[in-house]
Every structure is written in structure tokens, then in C-alpha cells.
Amino acid sequence: MSASNHRDQALQQLYPQMVEWRRHLHRFPEISYKEKETSAFIAGVLQDMGCDVQTGLGGYGLMVTIEGESEGPTVALRADIDALAIQDQKQVEYASQVPGVMHACGHDAHTATMLGIASYYMQQRKQLSGKRRLLFQASEEISPGGALPLIEHGAMDGVDAVYGVHLWTPLRYGQVASREGALMAAADEFTIEITGKGGHGGLPHDTVDAIVVGSALVTALQTIVSRQVNPLHPAVVTIGTFQAGHTNNIIAGHALLKGTVRTFDPKVREDIHERIVAMVRQVCDLYGATSTLDYRMGYPPVVNDAAETRRFYRVGEELLGSQAVETSSMVMAAEDFAYYLHHKPGCFIFVGAGNPELEAHYAHHHPRFDLDERAMLVSARLMTALAEDYAAYPVV
């Protein structure tokens, strides 16, 4: 039996356990920066395997390094462990038992997959060349995220290459996709507080209407992308929250706006930041209001290494067939996996988890989000194949 067939067979045997782990995690989700029990569960499973686990890394992150008996490179593989503040609306036996919290992005499956990979490598240490560093990263969903603290605790020390996977319901089960260069966007966020002058709804001339000011500002901000950014440079400015007023006959004196900016190009990113600062000041001045702007630069773009992306295409086609491997479009969602790629060459990959027949077709962060669990096996096969290929052929 070839090494690849042996690996696939071993992972296939671990797949039912991956499903069990995933469903346990799905029932008991924890949001970013609160993953105490999730981290303890992961640590317990890893310790039962015989792993030497580092815990409490930048909050609730964990790290395991599995060393083979022969010399070779150190390859890092990463999973994220946090859930979202969303009420689970699925009617399944493994639905979330925590009110208002659910795994609506697949991180439970990422974690279960990585636990399966850990079990596989612990069984294969005698045949393993080099080291495999498995990262269970907390707090991906909320900036500043858990990647930087994990890196500060040595996650990338001595690493030669790093790979990560996101199970992706927009991509049908059985397909995998990535792209060379920029794959996912930078994500910045801002909060605008507008202070006007409240008053009687029938006497607007005695007020400074914060709703009118905020509405003018929302409209103005939309012109940044439509009229001030080169159409060939992808960018998004979205206002996600507009809060003001509380009844029909009182003019609001305060308004709160929250939004996000998504870009790929560093200059476009900075230009949009500058335009938002100027627009907030100028629009509020025009209407006689004052403002406070809190603008936070979030995750940078995910930029895949060229050589490691070529490795993904080659290994993916060998593993799954040429029809299963796609070139992804650029995606305006963001990922703090970007920080690992600032330190080491690597590749971030989408693994198809969508299947309408299983109700696994809702968007990520939707209250009925679910996935085709077989994608975990595809993910495990792909990540271990990439790691073993790097160990055999570090230069491609």
C-alpha cells in the first residue's frame, strides 16, 4: 500500500471520531475571548492521545508540536476554535445548547479536523519526517484576534511552512479552491458618534437632528468607493449599525454608526481611512453637529505564497482529481491567518462544505448555518498531504 493510501485509510478510520468531536463542540459553543471550556476540551483530547500541549496562549489558544523520528522540516497547520453570538435556528440533534451562541462559521469542524490530524500524527511518529506544529487558535472572529498572541508565544518559531483551511459552504462539497497572492481582504472597523441637539419633533429649527446628519453621512460615505476608488481596485464601505432616537415626536440629539472597510491594496486602504476621517468632520460641521470617530485597522489581507499555492494545486489534483481543484475569486471576508503568512510562506485554502440536500447551503454567520461533515475528511487529507509533500519536496 502506498504512503498516501495508508494515510487516507487511517484518516478515514478517524472520521467518525471527528464527527463526534465536531458535534460536541457544536452543542457547546463559546464566543471569541471566552473559549475556556472549548480550550479545556481540546487540551483533554490531546492529552489523552499523549500530546504535550501548550495551553493559555494569548488567552485560550493551544499548540502541539509532534516530532517524528527522522530529520525534516517543521510544518504548521492551523485551526480556529471560537463561535459567534448568533442564535442557532437549526432543527438538528447537535444544535447549540447555549442561548444566543452558535458555531455559524465552521470553526467547530476546523477544530475536530485538527484533532483528527493530531491523532493521525501521534500514530505515525515513527514514519514522520520533521515536526508538525498544530495550532488551535482562539478568537479569530473578533479583531485583534488570536493569531498575533499565538505568534508571540512562538507558534512560528522554527516553522518552514504554514497551511490553513476554511470549510466553505459557498463551495460545493468535493471541491477545493485557493489562489496565488491576495485571497481575502483586509478588514477595518469604525464607530462614529454624532452629537447634535435634540428637541421637539414639531420644532426642527431649534434642533440639530442627529438622524439627518447621520443619514447624510451614510450617503456621503457610499461615494468613497463609487467615485473615489479606482474601479479596478476592490473595496467595500459598509454601515452595519445606525442607532438613533426612541419615539416619533422627538428629534434625536445623538446617533451611533458602526461600519467596516474591506480592501486589498494598502494604498486604497489608507486612502479610504483618510476619506472617512475627512467626511465625518466635514458633514458634521456642515450641519452644526460634533462627532467622535474611532477607526481601528484590523486584519491585513490574506496573501498566499506563490510557490505554496502551486503546491496546493499540484497536491490537490493528485489527491482529488483536476476537476475538484479551482482557482478562487478574491473574497471580501477577512481572516487573521494573514498574520502567519507575514512570518512564513504558506497557503490558505477553501474546502467545499456546501450541500443543499443536507441543508448545508446557508451563508456563513447565518443562524441556520451547517456544513457537509464529509468536508472534514477532505480537509484532513489535504492538509496532511500538503505537509508530507513539503517534507519530501521543500522547494517547488
CATH 3.40.630.10, applies to 3-185+301-392: yes
Q: What local confidence, expressed as pLDDT, does residue 58 receive?
A: 86
CATH number of 191-299: 3.30.70.360
Count of helices and strands (H, E) across the chain: 9, 16
Instruction: Indicate if 140 belongs to the active site.
Output: yes
- How many Cβ atoms sit within 10 Å of the Cβ of residue 253? 19
Catalytic residue among 140, 271, 336, 388: 140
Grid cell for residue 305: 505564497
Q: What local confidence, expressed as pLDDT, does residue 395 receive?
A: 81
Catalytic residue among 8, 30, 80, 82: 82
**DSSP string across 160-210:** SEEEEEEEEEEEETT-EEE-SEEEE-EEEEEEEEEE-B-EETT-GGG-B-H
Instruction: Indicate if 335 belongs to the active site.
Output: no
pTM for the structure as a whole? 0.95
The per-residue pLDDT for range 305-323, each reduced to its tens digit, is: 999 999 999 999 999 999 9
Residue 139 near residue 146 (C-beta atoms within 8 A): yes
Beta-bridge mates of residue 327: 178
Residue at 89: amino acid letter = Q
Cα angle at 337 between 35 and 123, to 5 degrees? 70
Distance CA 11, CA 280 (A): 54
**Is residue 226's pLDDT more than 90?**
yes
**Is residue 205's pLDDT more than 80?**
yes
**Is residue 236's pLDDT more than 80?**
yes
If you average pLDDT over residues 27-34, what whole number do you get?
Answer: 98
Length of the chain: 396
- Cis omega (within 30 of 0) on the bond before 144? yes
Grid cell for residue 46: 490531546
If you average pLDDT over residues 187-214, what whole number do you get?
Answer: 98
Question: To which residue does cell 502551486 refer?
Answer: 310
Distance CA 310, CA 134 (A): 22
If you average pLDDT over residues 133-152, what whole number do you get?
Answer: 97
**DSSP string across 322-383:** GGGEEEPPPBS---TTHHHHHHS-EEEEEEEEEBGGGTB-SPTT-TT----THHHHHHHHHH
Domain range annotation of the chain: 3-185+301-392, 191-299
**Is residue 1's pLDDT more than 70?**
no
> Cα 393 from chain centroid?
29
The chain-wide mean pLDDT, for the chain, equals 97
Is the CA virtual torsion 143, 145, 147, 153 positive or negative? Answer: positive
Distance CA 243, CA 138 (A): 30
Q: What local confidence, expressed as pLDDT, does residue 24 receive?
A: 98
- How many Cβ atoms sit within 10 Å of the Cβ of residue 115? 28
Beta-bridge mates of residue 15: none
| Nearest CA among 191, 197, 90, 80 for reference residue 138 | 80
Distance CA 312, CA 292 (A): 46
Distance CA 218, CA 395 (A): 50
Q: Which helix (H) or strand (E) holds 297?
A: strand 290-299
Is the CA virtual torsion 91, 96, 102, 104 positive or negative? Answer: negative
Residue at 38: amino acid letter = T
